[in-house]
Amino acid sequence: MKGLIYKITCRTTQQSYIGKTRSTQRQRWYQHCSDAKRGSDKDLHQAIREYGDAAFQMTTLQEWDDISNEALQAAETYFITEHNTFHNGYNMQVNRNAPYPSVLVETRAQVSEHLQSKIKGLMSASLSHNTQLAYQRTLKNLDQYLNGQKLTDSELAIYITYLHDTGKSPATIGQVVAAVKWRLKKADETLHLPVTDTILSGIRREGRDRGRGQVDGLTWQDVERICLLAEMKNTLAGLRDAAMIRLMSDCLLRVSEVVAVNVEDFQEKTLTLRSSKTDQESIGESLYVCDTTRNVLDRYRERAEITDGALFRHIRRGDNIQPNRITAHSARRIIKKRAADAGVKGCISGHSLRVGSAVSLAQAGATVVDMQVAGRWKSSGMPAHYAKAELAERGAIARFKDGKSG
């Protein structure tokens, strides 16, 4: 989101006020004047009433096209300190909980340097570890393609067209553009990409059927068959794999989420997901865990003697449990192997359990909103796509023309 830091100075007293806003400078000034008329007791608003709004001048100190709330708060704190508007101005307080401490700085250049460093750190923290790795791989491939050539709008447009011609999905190609924009922001560089953005829009329209529907879902029925077979092996590895697959199916977990689960994340019938792709601020979400899954988890933990820390751990031959948690790569391999052992056909991946649960929810009569909430999708488009066949059977034509019940 856009943001700016502004300064309001009273020509009569030569005292100033520093503030931040997501709106325009003009809109924020009108708001201050409105607050003053309503009788606000803030120092700035009292001064506006006393000296009149014509006695004040407002300027923008710094502006960003995209800045987080945390970084914008840090910027405000720095400028309040630099201009000394807390001790000798109209700022009534400094946010002591700002992400960067209030320290004395001598020059505007130092403020800018501190801010840019902080913003870069916040940008990195705003992406999950897996997303950062994906961006790094994507950018490495792009750099190899450029082979020392300077990145331009036209070169990037040619590159994504090449990827499209080789059969890459719009999602994969979109990630390339997103990674480039992310790197530019981190480096505080500007590169307008009108040609690339236009080409990408065309790729998304023309290739909308690519990359979707290639992964087959593991429905609740599939999961039951897979897990029962794994449990029947009577090994610790079988119990671990069954517990992991059941938990992913119940909570619609991503691979990156399930490998990060700790014993302490469980409370009675719920799993607390500390952070996820759609919750990178780590607010946390509570997800319901079915009785059967809890029973298998308890059996696995008891046999493995796991009382705290990482839940799903590496197991060596002879059922020797290790202290380190399994990797995302290992989890994907386990899912594919257990599905193959149970005779499940199709293209199975770590994403198959989310897809399959969405399909199963639709078959059980859940709405698209129910599926969206359960899977923590940002929009209803993805679950609706996964379960489009099941939803069609409950659609208006099926219910009203063919007489099927919803």
The Cα–Cα gap between 270 and 179 comes to 35
Predicted pLDDT of residue 48: 95
What is the structure's pLDDT at 208?
A: 60
- In the Cβ-directed half-sphere of 90, how many Cα atoms lie within 13 Å? 21
Q: Kindly provide the residue ranges of all beta strands, DSSP E only, lying in 317-375, ordered along the sequence.
A: 320-325
Residue 174 has pLDDT above 60, yes or no: yes
Identity of the residue numbered 200: L
Most confident option among 91-95, 330-334, 372-376, 388-392: 330-334
Question: Average pLDDT in the 176-181 region?
Answer: 91
Q: Between 245 and 202, where is the model more confident?
A: 245
Strands 56-64 and 285-288: unpaired
Inter-helix orientation angle 220-232/328-341, to 10°: 90
Question: Per the confidence metrics, is the pTM higher than 0.85?
Answer: no
Burial of 400 (0-12, 13-18, 19+ CB in 10 A): exposed
pLDDT (0 to 100) of residue 245 = 96
Cβ density class 138-158: b for 16+ within 10 Å, e for less: bbeebeeeeeeeebebeebbe
Give me the pLDDT at residue 394, please.
66
**pLDDT value of residue 207:** 66
Q: Roughly what angle, to the nearest 10 degrees, separates helices 236-251 and 291-304?
A: 150
**Helix-helix angle 153-165:194-206, to 10 degrees:** 10
C-alpha span between 387 and 254 (Å, rounded): 18
Range of weakest confidence among 52-56, 98-102, 340-344, 366-370: 98-102
Band of residue 59 on the pLDDT scale cut at 50, 70, 90: very high
Burial 283-305 (b: 16+ CB within 10 A, else e): eeeebebeeebbebbeebbeebe
User: How distant, in Å, are the alpha carbons of 152, 254, 287 from that of 368?
Assistant: 41, 19, 18
CB-based contacts of 127, cutoff 8 Å, min separation 6: 135, 182, 280
